[in-house]
Amino acid sequence: MDIKKLLSQMTIEEKIGQLLQCGPSIYRNFEEIRWDTLRSGEIGSFIRVRDPEMVNKLQRCAVEESRLGIPLVFADDIIHGYFTNFPVPAAEACSWEPELARRTAEVAAKEARVSGIQWTYAPMVDLARDARWGRNSEGAGEDPYLASVFAKARVEGFQGDDISSDTHVAACAKHFAGYSACMGGRDYNSVEMSCQTLYDMFLPPFKSAIDAGVATVMSAFHDFNGVPCAGNRWLLRDVLRDDLDFKGVLISDAGAVGQMQVHGYTEDERDTAKKAMDAGTDIEMATFTYNHHLKELVENGEIPMEMLDEAVERVLDLKNRLGLFENPYIDVEKANSIGATEQSIALARECSRKSIVLLKNDNKTLPLNRKSKIAVIGALAGNEDDMHDVWSGKNKNATTIYGALKANNYDAMYAKGYDLKTDEVFIEDANRVANECDVILFVAGEGVNYQGFMSGEARNRSDIEIPKLQQKLLKELKRTGKPIVAYIFSGRPLALRNVDETVDAILWSGGLGTEAGNAVMDVLFGDYNPSAKLVWTFPTSNGQSPYFYNHNNTGKPPIAEIWYSSKYIDAPIGAQYPFGYGLSYTSFKYDNLQISSKEFSIDDVLEASVEVTNTGDCFGEEIVELYVRDLVGSMVRPVRELKGFDKIGLNPGEKKTVVIKVPIKNLGFHNQKMEYVVEPGKFMLYVGPDSASGLETEFFVK
């Protein structure tokens, strides 16, 4: 399709139409759709049309009844699967296996594309630094390097080599930028951030997605240093377009353009349209300011026609790349018959078990003896919806924990224990079941039945412990004297100190999706030895958020005995479980850390090697993590920064040498003049099992 030629044939109304995405207010009721608007070419895209027949009906109207026949593009939030629900992104990232994320994104893309969705609003690449924020589970954790690796993998999985293929979709890196740093962890709240933090911490995952060819980017809801993102010219043009070299479509978040007026940044709808277009927002999702005012703004010369044309061209180009001009329709029969397959379910099980983190295992409580009689206690153990977390796809089926145990003939009894909806605790029943069994499997954490989801958009919490009623039940169960294994689900880092002090073993994960119950069962009995590691720091208590491992040292680092040091008087120093932490049923020993040289120049690649031995009695996989610290800088540097990792499998007694390469040019940061620099001087290097331990050595950059 000759896009330039098509553009030259378009009326201003048709151009503006390409920039309108019909959103929630319209899609809920298709009878409300103004078919005449579609016919006149004034709607460019739709969000969340999940009925394949309706996809074709809308498309037919646009293609066959509008003057130029420009196809629509259908978008949706395909975050961790459509028919096969994989673990939520942050859970999946705990596998530290980007290839796994690429494969699950690929399956999600295929399931969506066949169903009529050509564009997904994923991956979310926002860093998760504040446990209170509801959307931590949608990203890849708190670290910019790990999040960048996963951003690339997910974009590659969704998009493949060619987004016109009927198995891939256009991806969207969101939410640009700094969205997760909302004050108080309150979604949509203002963000105050230095440019250095933006560039060094929050932008790398976006850059990685852009370098991987992400077709679209979504701007965020909040005001960034006082200017709402959807109208933030500096952020969208100078940073995103110029610095990060993004050439694709930029869409606002749902309603975010219209909300600029609520922020107090624009006077009225007309002013809003002007500021959004001037700032560089191409598509306006779910509000109508362009539709109502852009024509007049262009005709008055307040918005240059070239600016409008550039935006429209990008949208047409996306549709062209998606192959929609040639293949606008979907095969409804195929769409209606698609579902999870044997392979996609096997992948979901593999991914889910690799997402489960073992946080504690006193006296080798786990794996469980297959002959044990197990008291499964907790509503979350038996409810399919609770297996998913937010943004699950069209198919909500899942194996539950109790369901999997029963289906596989394990000797298990179930007690609901609590009800998050009604706030009731059923102690007697739980005790009865516990007393009849050898071991208690206490399943708790965040569910979907506490005033709706407990994590997700706008589901922020000021209390990041497990709900009080679960704590109450756990205390009671402790009195039985039976060994307790806690399985905790959550969409955010939790403060698990109380749980840790009470139980013998803890497994944690985010929502696991379709194969949740089977995967948990695999881990409980040692059919899979847990290998996942945390991508968030778990604090010890509520008030420590935001808490992340790659913080600066301060002039008074925390020392318990020192009054004037940077600590809390009522919380321990250090995290409950640090970033990168996770245990195994076996144990690993790290020895003999070597680096290829003591001194490097900017163009060199450092090679660190370490010997890792499986010192336990079963096969296990270990994630080997490499961190650096730049000891002196013209800006103070974080106490540690992840710069590489590897994942290996070892049989009992086996030893492997792991080599991790780090280009020296990756050790830089933005200085006070906002120049990216790698400064000469001494660095520390750490290689180990998590961000708070490991072997160390030093090197110099000249």
Question: Which residues in this chain contact ligand BGC in the complex, by CB under 6 A?
Answer: 47, 77, 121, 174, 253-254, 457
With H, G, I as helix, E, B as strand and everything else as coil, classify residue 45: strand
Peptide bond into 177 cis (omega under 30): yes
Please state, in angstroms and rounded to a whole number, the distance separating the CA atoms of residues 701 and 633.
12
Helix (H) or strand (E) holding 21: strand 20-22
Kindly give, in sequence order, each residue whose CB lies less than 8 Å from that of residue 225, ignoring residues fewer than 6 positions away: 191, 192, 193
Amino acid at 494: L
CB of 174 to ligand BGC, least distance (A): 6
Amino acid at 138: E
CB of 24 to ligand BGC, least distance (A): 8
Q: Which residue is nearest to ligand BGC (CB)?
A: 121
Kindly give, in sequence order, each residue whose CB lies less than 8 Å from that of residue 28, ignoring residues fewer than 6 positions away: none
Given 200, 253, 282, 386, the catalytic residue: 253
**Summary count for the chain: helices (H), strands (E):** 22, 28
The dihedral over CA atoms of 640, 643, 648, 653, expressed in degrees to the nearest 10, equals: -40
Kindly give, in sequence order, each residue whose CB lies less than 8 Å from that of residue 512, ignoring residues fewer than 6 positions away: 87, 91, 352, 355, 356, 387, 398, 519, 520
CB of 253 to ligand BGC, least distance (A): 5
Pick from 519, 532, 648, 512: nearest CA to 579: 532
Of 47 and 678, the one with the shorter C-beta distance to ligand BGC is 47
**Whether the Cβ atoms of residue 15 and residue 312 lie closer than 8 Å to each other:** yes
Helix (H) or strand (E) holding 218: strand 216-219
Please state, in angstroms and rounded to a whole number, the distance separating the CA atoms of residues 252 and 529.
43
Please state, in angstroms and rounded to a whole number, the distance separating the CA atoms of residues 636 and 234.
26
Of 75 and 503, the one with the shorter C-beta distance to ligand BGC is 75
CB of 209 to ligand BGC, least distance (A): 15
CB of 227 to ligand BGC, least distance (A): 18
Q: What share of the chain is helix, strand, coil (3-state, %, to 5)?
A: 35, 20, 45
CB of 363 to ligand BGC, least distance (A): 44
Peptide bond into 546 cis (omega under 30): yes
Of 77 and 350, the one with the shorter C-beta distance to ligand BGC is 77
143 is known as an active-site residue: no
Kindly give, in sequence order, each residue whose CB lies less than 8 Å from that of residue 418, ignoring residues fewer than 6 positions away: 378, 379, 424, 425, 426, 444, 467, 469, 470, 473
Peptide bond into 123 cis (omega under 30): yes
CB of 21 to ligand BGC, least distance (A): 9
CB of 117 to ligand BGC, least distance (A): 12
Point out the residues that are catalytic.
Answer: 253
